[in-house]
């Protein structure tokens, strides 16, 4: 008997259909309004919390699907509904991953539930890594975390930018440099608890797309947090820093050091397919609108899909969407089954799905003609939204860099 199948099991089908219903009935009808308002869609988040979609439990259950498909299926359906609202619904989950990836079980148990609040009092969370001068170049991060031993407190100073839910979050996860000389290996993640003095929202960005998702700067001005807000704990950090310093010293002496596994890279490979799945959802949504339009819009006495120029475009759109989904599913399956990403398959899936969403949504506008160019139809919004997928969670260029370096083993620049 073959163990390979692309058939979804009954649980996966049930979750997919449930989310699709929520996306069609609740998210879609609200999409244009929140895009125009450029605000966090709190009523939709509350609705999602009431039915159990906006909850730690839901994200955890999907994450533990042993096939790896729980998260990509959920992402595709929610973002099929709308990407801006979709990001507002999953942004806290992405911040929670920051705690789960680095925190102790006690820290996860304490902070992850607070990131979502309760259905009667919903909260959001933010993950703050990017800075004005440290986007793709994460090692250039300037935000500093200094340990005050006398008080067992960490003091954070710096400016974060582009933080989804930044400033409106109940809990902020902040990446900061503990030892700048070690670059990315000298960084650590911290939880900033609710209402901590010194943390404030800077500029809120007015964006091209995903406008229902709040994006802002986060200013950290002498933010004092308890020692146990360092994710993973001080002993683990001290051990890691000591190892990195030894390696740096050995390298300075010209000694060859054994190649260490880059844990951050492994985490990115595992998380990028989720973003790829979001892109697949947007692409599929635009394709469906374009297909329907092409079958019903008549010019020259026949539906426009009767022209090969239109029909072949739709064929290519669907082919690329299916290829993107298969890359996403492969990488998600690999992550859940602890397969090594020997060809950067996670980055591949995000690269291809992101580029596909941008291309497919542009084709959809073309197929809808003048209507595609207006806000009467959703494809112009979908096209604006799709542009984010080649930028965040690593730009397309950075995905190509990672793939090329992984394939060649060379430090390609
Ligand atoms: C809406 C939105 C939400 C976001 N949410 C978050 C969040 O929640 N938390 C967070 O920490 N960050 C977040 N980000 C930040 C996002 O991850 C960064 O924007 C992204 O990493 C790119 O960084 P940058 O904008 O500084 O671009 P840069 O790094 O300045 O890149 C500019 C251009 O140069 C290219 N480039 C850079 N280096 C190379 C190279 N070596 N080779 C080839 N090309 C290169 C890039 O690909 C890009 O085309 C968000 C961004 C946006 C727009």
- Residue 32, domain CATH: 1.10.540.10
Asked whether residue 260 carries a pLDDT value surpassing 60, the answer given is no
Summarize the confidence of residues 302-315 as an average pLDDT.
Answer: 98
Span 181-225, pLDDT tens digits: 999 999 999 999 999 999 999 999 999 999 999 999 999 999 999
| 227 and 168 within one domain | yes
Measured by CA distance, the residue closest to atom 30 of ligand 1 is 135
Span 338-388, pLDDT tens digits: 999 999 999 999 999 999 999 999 999 999 999 999 999 999 999 999 999
Q: In degrees, to the nearest 5, what angle opens at C-alpha 396 toward C-alphas 39 and 134?
A: 70
129 lines ligand 1 (CB under 6 A): yes
Last residue of a domain, one of 209, 226, 252: 252
| 278 and 243 within one domain | no
| 132 and 103 within one domain | no
Out of 142-151, 253-262, 300-309, least confident range: 253-262
Summarize the confidence of residues 322-336 as an average pLDDT.
Answer: 97
Domain total of the chain: 3
Asked whether residue 114 carries a pLDDT value surpassing 70, the answer given is yes
Measured by CA distance, the residue closest to atom 7 of ligand 1 is 163
Last residue of a domain, one of 223, 252, 281: 252
Tokens (6 digits) for 146: 């200094």
138 lines ligand 1 (CB under 6 A): no
How far does the centroid of ligand 1 lie from the alpha carbon of residue 240, in Å? 27
Q: How confident is the model at residue 263 (pLDDT cuts 50, 70, 90)?
A: low
| 230 and 180 within one domain | yes
pTM over 0.75: yes
| 186 and 130 within one domain | yes
pLDDT at 178: 97
| 117 and 181 within one domain | no
Q: Map 345-391 to HEC letters.
A: HHHHHHHHHHHHHHHHHHHHHHHHHHHHCCCCCCHHHHHHHHHHHHC
Range of the domain at 247: 125-252
| 343 and 323 within one domain | yes
280 lines ligand 1 (CB under 6 A): no
Tokens (6 digits) for 52: 């159990």
Asked whether residue 270 carries a pLDDT value surpassing 80, the answer given is yes
| 400 and 278 within one domain | yes
Out of 124-138, 250-264, 390-404, least confident range: 250-264
Last residue of a domain, one of 106, 122, 138: 122
pLDDT at 3: 82
């Amino acid at each position: 008997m073959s163990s390979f199948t692309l058939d979804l099991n009954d649980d996966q089908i049930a979750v997919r259909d449930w989310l699709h219903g929520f996306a069609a009935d609740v998210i879609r009808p609200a999409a244009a309004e929140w895009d125009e308002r450029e605000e966090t869609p709190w009523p939709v988040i509350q609705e999602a919390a009431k039915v159990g979609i906006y909850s730690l439990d839901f994200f955890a259950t999907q994450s533990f699907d042993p096939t790896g498909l729980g998260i990509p299926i959920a992402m595709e359906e929610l973002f099929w509904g709308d990407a801006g609202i979709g990001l507002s619904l999953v942004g806290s989950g992405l911040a929670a991953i920051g705690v789960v990836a680095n925190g102790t079980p006690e820290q996860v148990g304490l902070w992850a539930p607070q990131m979502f609040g309760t259905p009667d009092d919903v909260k959001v969370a933010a993950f703050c890594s990017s800075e004005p001068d440290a986007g793709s170049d994460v090692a250039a991060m300037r935000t500093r975390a200094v340990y005050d031993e006398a008080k067992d407190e960490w003091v954070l100073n710096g400016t974060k930018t582009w933080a989804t839910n930044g400033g409106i979050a109940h809990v902020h996860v902040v990446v900061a440099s503990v030892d700048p000389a070690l670059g990315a290996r000298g960084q650590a993640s911290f939880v900033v608890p609710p209402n901590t003095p010194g943390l404030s929202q800077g500029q809120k960005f007015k964006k091209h797309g995903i406008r229902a998702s709040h994006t802002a700067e986060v200013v950290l001005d002498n933010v004092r947090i308890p020692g146990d807000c360092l994710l993973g704990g001080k002993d683990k950090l001290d051990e890691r820093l000591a190892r990195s310093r030894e390696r740096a010293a050995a390298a300075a002496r010209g000694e060859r050091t054994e190649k260490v596994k880059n844990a951050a890279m492994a985490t990115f490979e595992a998380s990028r397919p989720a973003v790829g799945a979001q892109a697949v959802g947007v692409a599929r949504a635009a394709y469906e609108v374009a297909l329907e339009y092409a079958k019903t819009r008549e010019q020259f006495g026949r539906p426009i899909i009767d022209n090969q120029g239109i029909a072949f475009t739709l064929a290519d759109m669907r082919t690329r969407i299916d290829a993107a989904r298969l890359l996403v599913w492969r990488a998600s399956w690999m992550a859940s089954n602890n397969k090594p990403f020997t060809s950067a398959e996670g980055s591949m899936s995000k690269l291809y799905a992101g580029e596909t969403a941008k291309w497919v949504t542009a084709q959809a506008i073309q197929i809808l003609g003048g209507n595609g160019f207006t806000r009467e139809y959703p494809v112009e919004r979908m096209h604006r939204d799709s542009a984010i997928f080649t930028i965040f969670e690593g730009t397309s260029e950075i995905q190509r860099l990672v793939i090329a370096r992984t394939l060649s083993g060379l430090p390609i620049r």
